[in-house]
Amino acid sequence: MKLYLKLVAMHLKCQMQYKASFLMTCLGQFLTSFTAFLSILFLFNRFHAVEDYSFSEVLICFSVMLTAFSLAECFVRGFDVFPRLVRNGTLDRILVRPRSEIFQVLTSNIEFSRVGRLLQAFVILAYAVPTSGVAWTADRVFAVVLMLLGGVAVFSALFVLYAGFSFFTIEGLEFMNIFTDGSREFGMYPLSVYGEGVLKFYTFCIPIALFQYYPFLYLVGRSDDVRLIFLPLLGFVFLVPCYAFFRFGLRRYKSTGS
């Protein structure tokens, strides 16, 4: 952990060498996700409710999803750009070093510019919490914490799965963006609004609903089942098959010769 924190600090110092560039990148990240917020704002200005969900309730979903995705993209970015490590031969150097491959990939790329998205998510959450009418008891605060942790775990698992495919394709598979960036866009609203088929897919295939939808029902008082609070922990279970697939690909890796 000490070495990891030292490498994180190193990445931060490197990115802060060009402060103007860093701040403009953060601003760009803020504005990019801000357009998604504007789409929600314009929709509610016209329709006032989406399947009985209020504006503030939808903003809770939006901020939780954006926070989880931004944290995963910041600290697990190495797996998101893993095809590049395979193509340029960097992975060959990683494999001959004494440190774990996972540790080296995690610390190969950390994007602190995602703080722009995080800032927006925190501001929106700060607005949604007092206006949603939710009684913020200790169990509901705990539910939000687990939703964020579970979300980071699920998106991190998807990045690891994406990296696993790179062993067989060399190039990245763009269809995986459907499950990463696409899920982030879907998650702007409670997943039930898209229909039962989409909800089942995001429950049993890609477990986005386990941290975004079901605990949200308890959070806003639409369910009294306290067990829903703990469903986000299954996001860490999802990491197991994704990591196993990554190890499967790693055992069959052949150098590109770069």
Domain boundaries, the chain: 53-251
**Exposure of 201 by Cβ count < 10 A (0-12 exposed, 13-18 middle, 19+ buried)?**
middle
What is the per-residue pLDDT for 257? 60
Q: What is the pLDDT of residues 55-106, one digit of tens each?
A: 888 999 999 998 999 899 888 888 888 888 888 878 888 888 888 888 888 8
What is the per-residue pLDDT for 86? 82
What is the per-residue pLDDT for 83? 83
**HSE value, Cβ hemisphere, 13 Å, CA-based, for 230:** 3
Helix (H, G, I), strand (E, B) or coil at 179: coil
- The residues near 143 (Cβ < 8 Å, ≥ 6 apart) are 215, 218, 219, 228, 229
Sign (positive/negative) of CA torsion 98, 102, 103, 108?
positive
What is the per-residue pLDDT for 227? 92
- The secondary element (H helix, E strand) that includes residue 58 is helix 55-75
Buried b (16+ CB within 10 A) or exposed e, 31-66: eebeebbeebeebbeeeeebeebbbbbbbbbbbbbb
Structure tokens at 196: 């039962």
d(CA 252, CA 241): 17
Structure tokens at 144: 């939000």
Within 10 Å of residue 82's Cβ, how many Cβ atoms?
Answer: 25
Chain position carrying tokens 């306290």: 226
What is the per-residue pLDDT for 253? 81
What is the per-residue pLDDT for 172? 57
Longest dimension (CA), the chain: 59
Which pairs with CB-CB distance under 8 Å and at least 24 residues apart come from 73-77? Answer: 73/111, 73/114, 73/155, 73/159, 74/110, 74/111, 74/112, 74/114, 74/115, 74/118, 75/106, 75/110, 76/106, 76/155, 76/156, 76/159, 76/160, 77/109, 77/110, 77/111, 77/159
What is the per-residue pLDDT for 149? 94
Give, for all 258 residues of the chain, the pLDDT tens digit. Answer: 788 888 888 888 888 888 888 888 888 888 877 888 888 888 888 887 788 888 888 999 999 998 999 899 888 888 888 888 888 878 888 888 888 888 888 888 888 888 888 888 888 888 888 888 788 889 988 999 999 999 999 999 999 998 888 888 766 566 777 788 888 888 888 998 888 898 999 999 899 999 999 999 999 888 889 999 999 999 999 999 999 999 998 888 877 665
CA 198 and chain centroid, separation: 19
What is the per-residue pLDDT for 258? 54
For residue 50, the cross-strand partners are 53
d(CA 140, CA 134): 9
Helix (H, G, I), strand (E, B) or coil at 89: coil
